[in-house]
Amino acid sequence: MIKEIDFTKAQVLVELGPGNGAITKYILNNLAPNAILICFEINDNFYCQLKELRHPQLVVLKVSAEKILYELKKLKIDKVNYIISSLPLTIIPEEVSDEILEKSFQALHPNGIYIQYQYSLSYFKKLKEVFKESISLGFEPLNIPPAFIYRCKKVE
């Protein structure tokens, strides 16, 4: 997922559903000195584990992902360069997952990138409705279980 990120240009990154921080730690290790990572995680236990990282470039919010625009505004951030999502979109209620995708699209800079992993192709159609034709699909056989990785670019 992370090889899609150009860390030399990424100033503001958002991670949705980081869990216990496996991807988060990798991102933090690669962040440019003036970049920040904002995580949205609703699980108490995972939220506490992420806070324990105590990284100066990390903001951890115990807030659901559909609140992304509201929370960015509170942080005085207008747009972000990358959104990295491990959210289980297919099991989140449809009205909420629709809102997450739409607000994520709005939160991105032009040419910003939304990266999502999924264990099936079931969400491809939804992503296409929002990001149109600017989606590329990868497959990671070494993940357990193997996963599809969507790379969706905001083209306006």
Member of 12, 13, 14, 16 binding ligand SAM (CB under 6 A): 16
138 binds ligand SAM (CB under 6 A): no
Of 18-26, 29-37, 50-58, 108-116, the window that binds ligand SAM (rule: CB under 6 A) is 18-26
Q: One symbol per residue from 75 to 114: x for binding ligand SAM (CB under 6 A), - otherwise; what is it? A: -----------xxx---x----------------------
Reference 5, options 73, 99, 80, 100; nearest CA is 80
Residue 38's Cβ-count burial label (10 Å; 0-12, 13-18, 19+) is buried
Are 126 and 101 spatial neighbours (Cβ–Cβ below 8 Å)? yes
- As a whole number of angstroms, the distance between CA 127 and CA 55 comes to 32
Tell me which of 27, 36, 58, 65 binds ligand SAM, using CB under 6 A. Answer: 65
Task: Quickly tell me which residue has 């806070």 as its tokens.
Answer: 51
Nearer to ligand SAM, 64 or 81 (CB): 64
